[in-house]
Amino acid sequence: MSALQNYSVDQIYSVLSSIFGFSTFRPYQEEIICSILNGQDVFAVMPTGGGKSICYQLPARLMEGVCVVVSPLISLMKDQVDAARTNGLSAGTLNSTISTEERNSIGVALRQNRLDLLYISPERFNSEYFIERLKTLKIAFFAIDEAHCISEWGHDFRPDYLALSKIVHEFPDVPVTAFTATATQRVAEDIINRLGLRNPHLTRASFNRPNLFYRVILKRKLDEQLLNYVKNHAGESGIIYRSSRKKVEATAAMLKSCDISARPYHAGMSDTDRQVTQEAFSRDECSIIVATVAFGMGIDKSNVRFVVHADLPKNIESYYQETGRAGRDGEPADCVLFFGRGDIVQQLQFVNEIEDTDARNITKEQLWQMVNLAEQRGCRRVALLKYFGENFLEQNCNGCDICVNTDKHVDVTISAQKILSLIYRTKESFGAVHLADVLVGANTEKIRQFGHDKLPTYGVGRDQSKNYWRVVINELIARKIVRVDDLLRPVPKLTEEAWLIIRNQKNFIMQQPEEHEKDKSKFNQITASAVANTVGVLPFSELLFARLRELRTELARADNVPPYIVFSDRTLHEIARFFPCTVEEFQRIHGVGQYKYATYGQRFLEVIKEFCEQHPDEVAKWRQHQLPVQKQETSGQTSTFIETYRMIQQGKTIDEIASERQLTRGTIISHLEKLGELGKKLSVDQFFVPERLEQIKKWFKQSDENMRLKPAIEASGGKLDYEEARLARIFLKKS
């Protein structure tokens, strides 16, 4: 990273704290931001939730000119724009969904060089006209989101993205930055070539997501298991992935019938239905989405607390992508895979339908890797990261079922011997279900047909449940004590090691098999706190948190934005731990920037106060915690216009504010312009009597459609000065 040339580190941190409300950067953010500020091209691969947006939003704020953000989904842009605006950035989009008024006002903001971020879709670059228009603007830099869409090697190729290769030719002096969450080395090179990036600053962040807890649960009675699971996670947002539309519908219906707020999502639904569903999820109006893999790109929701795979994913890449949608806010989140060997058979059927031999073999190999990940007894994180070529070196990841295993280990050598000798006696030709049936002495057609009720092992396992035996058999398979050759008909066969166990030369020790039986809520807690420790989340008052969530939903609804845009879960957790009671304390909470404070702070403080009065016991328990780091003092333009907003809300006049703050009247008016643009409510009565505004409106009308100041001032024949015209324009624009 080269030294900063035109900006200071203080400036960067000041924006980080005042706009975004954070006191430190996540890994790689700072170096990317510095490179952008120095005018260098950038190519960054960072995992979902790694914090890519700040990497371009922060420099967009500081740099002169607009940052043009290319984003693949029009449906997402509104949320992106809203999120930027709630932080006090001036952002807009030009696409088919916005009103003419909005388009005009963004046009004006662009011409006046007042916009920080302009979100547009890639196909715009197919239009000569559009490119010519862009050329008339001062562009700080381009930021290409989901850049892997330009590569045919990637998993989400979108032909529209190809038009982006024009950018470096059409705008040779403007830096181009590209971001993605997925790129193998090959895809990365492809992206850089196609975009024509010039000696870009390269970042490849670790794929490790320390806040995600990975675990695999043996799939038995899936409905029951799912129900249990979601009941243990009541009130949290989550995604349940299933492998087919039919299963999606069935699971969603099952959950609904148990009064759980769940909705289906798959490619067989109309665009509108899908959009409505996604929106309801995003706004916390529906807690759970049951989906096929069609529910993917564009889930910007940061507070997804769990991702469940109810069926086996087809490869590790998909598994990583899908689980990656959990916990973007950095708070602990849970990733559960319900795994049964039956799923392998089903996936293999899909694989066998692939006609091209090479493709089929690759797909099969990938499936096999996924199965290994699910079955192996080593750390899941190590295995996952290894797939992406990363070595995870910690002894204990503290974030997977294997590492955090609290179950007792028991010696089940005798059980194993019973199974293995049965396998031997039945000539290594039967699957786990049948073996378990024989052991518990079941009376099935198949048992009678093969005369297995005559075997000495028939019924020797009556003292245990059928499920116990299946768990032990599975463990024997997973640990490769027995071998299965044909995945379509998994029939365990004995290995050398199996013989050692049969001959009493080796013991077989495993986790208490009965423990698999229960979906342990105890386990839930342990897992949550393990990850929480890793990512440094402290406990908080659940009661206050619940109240804050309600308030967040209410405020979000009023502003017509998703709740996580108001404040993240992380922010609410901190509030519910530290009980901030003063403005100063509140502003030290993670994620509270000046602008957000001005917009939502008072309401939150009121609710906290009210809560404290009603729950003195909770206060006694939590209020002792001291807020840790002092957030940095802020300075510069951002905080200053927020301060103006605060004073205006107190009913002060422009002159009063100017004299109190020793600023000019013109500066205060420029703050008001900024606030107006950001959609902040300014009450016109505070500045004009109606007649006067009406008069000024006429002068504007007489002169110019674009509401330029000079013609209006001329039209007034000396009765309107520059400052008053600017002030009036804020309100006239709106009407």
Residues that bind Zn ion (CB under 5 A): 379, 381, 397, 400, 403
Pair type for strands 304-309 and 237-241? parallel
Please choose, out of 237-245, 328-336, 380-388, 641-649, the segment that lies near ligand ADP by the rule CB under 6 A: 328-336
Q: Give residues with Cβ within 8 angstroms of 166, minimum separation 6.
A: 125, 131
Which of ligand ADP, Zn ion, none binds 403 (CB below 5-8 Å, type-dependent)?
A: Zn ion
Which of ligand ADP, Zn ion, none binds 379 (CB below 5-8 Å, type-dependent)?
A: Zn ion
Which of Zn ion, ligand ADP, none binds 283 (CB below 5-8 Å, type-dependent)?
A: none
Among 154, 327, 330, 601, binds ligand ADP (CB under 6 A): 330
Please choose, out of 46-54, 164-172, 236-244, 520-528, the segment that lies near ligand ADP by the rule CB under 6 A: 46-54
Q: Which two tokens stand for residue 281?
A: 């999820």
Q: Which two tokens stand for residue 482?
A: 């027995």
Instruction: Give 73-118 as a DSSP string.
Output: -HHHHHHHHHHHHHTT--EEE-STTS-HHHHHHHHHHHHTT--SEE
Instruction: Give 450-479 as a DSSP string.
Output: HTGGGSTTTTTTTTS-HHHHHHHHHHHHHT
Q: Which two tokens stand for residue 131?
A: 């490119």
71 binds ligand ADP (CB under 6 A): no
Cβ closest to ligand ADP, residue 80 vs residue 639: 80
Please choose, out of 3-11, 120-128, 221-229, 323-331, the segment that lies near ligand ADP by the rule CB under 6 A: 323-331
Q: Is 438 exposed, middle or buried (0-12, 13-18, 19+ CB in 10 A)?
A: buried
Cβ proximity of 208 and 400 under 8 Å? no
Among 34, 54, 149, 226, binds ligand ADP (CB under 6 A): 54
- Alpha-carbon distance of 408 to 411, in angstroms, equals 10
Give the CA count within 13 Å in the CB-facing half-sphere of 439.
28
Cβ proximity of 90 and 63 under 8 Å? no
Least distance (Å) from ligand ADP to the CB of residue 85?
Answer: 14
50 binds ligand ADP (CB under 6 A): yes
Cβ closest to ligand ADP, residue 14 vs residue 53: 53
Q: Which two tokens stand for residue 510?
A: 């495993």
Q: Is 313 helix (H, G, I), strand (E, B) or coil?
A: coil
28 binds ligand ADP (CB under 6 A): no
Cβ closest to ligand ADP, residue 55 vs residue 255: 55
Which of ligand ADP, Zn ion, none binds 670 (CB below 5-8 Å, type-dependent)?
A: none
52 binds ligand ADP (CB under 6 A): yes
Which of ligand ADP, Zn ion, none binds 53 (CB below 5-8 Å, type-dependent)?
A: ligand ADP
Among 302, 366, 644, 716, binds ligand ADP (CB under 6 A): 302
25 binds ligand ADP (CB under 6 A): yes
Among 40, 568, 587, 716, binds ligand ADP (CB under 6 A): 568
Among 14, 18, 35, 53, binds ligand ADP (CB under 6 A): 53
The 10 Å CB-count burial string (b at 16+, else e) for 368-406 is ebbbebbbbeebbbbbbbbbbeeeeeeeebbbbbbbbee
Cβ closest to ligand ADP, residue 190 vs residue 329: 329
Give the CA count within 13 Å in the CB-facing half-sphere of 136.
10
Please choose, out of 47-55, 607-615, 635-643, 653-661, the segment that lies near ligand ADP by the rule CB under 6 A: 47-55
Among 14, 18, 22, 442, binds ligand ADP (CB under 6 A): 22
The residue ranges of DSSP E strands in 636-703, in sequence order, are none
Residue with tokens 């049965």: 422
26 binds ligand ADP (CB under 6 A): yes
Q: Which two tokens stand for residue 91?
A: 């952002």
Among 209, 247, 328, 380, binds ligand ADP (CB under 6 A): 328
- Alpha-carbon distance of 18 to 635, in angstroms, equals 8
Which of ligand ADP, Zn ion, none binds 252 (CB below 5-8 Å, type-dependent)?
A: none
305 binds ligand ADP (CB under 6 A): no
Cβ proximity of 677 and 123 under 8 Å? no
Question: Which residues ranging from 690 to 729 are in contact with ligand ADP (CB under 6 A)?
Answer: none
Q: Which two tokens stand for residue 431?
A: 């699957």
Q: Which two tokens stand for residue 189?
A: 């090179």
Cβ closest to Zn ion, residue 47 vs residue 563: 47
563 binds ligand ADP (CB under 6 A): no
Which of ligand ADP, Zn ion, none binds 46 (CB below 5-8 Å, type-dependent)?
A: ligand ADP
Q: What share of the chain is helix, strand, coil (3-state, %, to 5)?
A: 55, 10, 35
Q: How many residues of this chain interact with ligand ADP, rule: CB under 6 A?
A: 17
Q: Taking CB under 6 A as the rule, which mask of x and - marks residues 510-549 in contact with ligand ADP?
A: ----------------------------------------
Residue with tokens 């979000």: 556
Q: Give residues with Cβ within 8 angstroms of 387, minimum separation 6.
A: 316, 317, 320, 369, 373
Query: Distance of CA 481 to CAs 175, 488, 507, 656, Å?
Result: 57, 19, 12, 83
Which of ligand ADP, Zn ion, none binds 50 (CB below 5-8 Å, type-dependent)?
A: ligand ADP
- The backbone torsions φ and ψ at residue 177, rounded to the nearest 5 degrees and listed phi first, read -120, 145
- Alpha-carbon distance of 730 to 735, in angstroms, equals 9
329 binds ligand ADP (CB under 6 A): yes
Which of ligand ADP, Zn ion, none binds 269 (CB below 5-8 Å, type-dependent)?
A: none
Residue nearest to ligand ADP (CB): 51
Cβ closest to ligand ADP, residue 26 vs residue 133: 26
Cβ closest to ligand ADP, residue 45 vs residue 371: 45
Cβ proximity of 419 and 473 under 8 Å? yes
Which of Zn ion, ligand ADP, none binds 326 (CB below 5-8 Å, type-dependent)?
A: none
Which of Zn ion, ligand ADP, none binds 397 (CB below 5-8 Å, type-dependent)?
A: Zn ion
Residues that bind ligand ADP (CB under 6 A): 22, 25-26, 29, 46, 48-54, 302, 328-330, 568
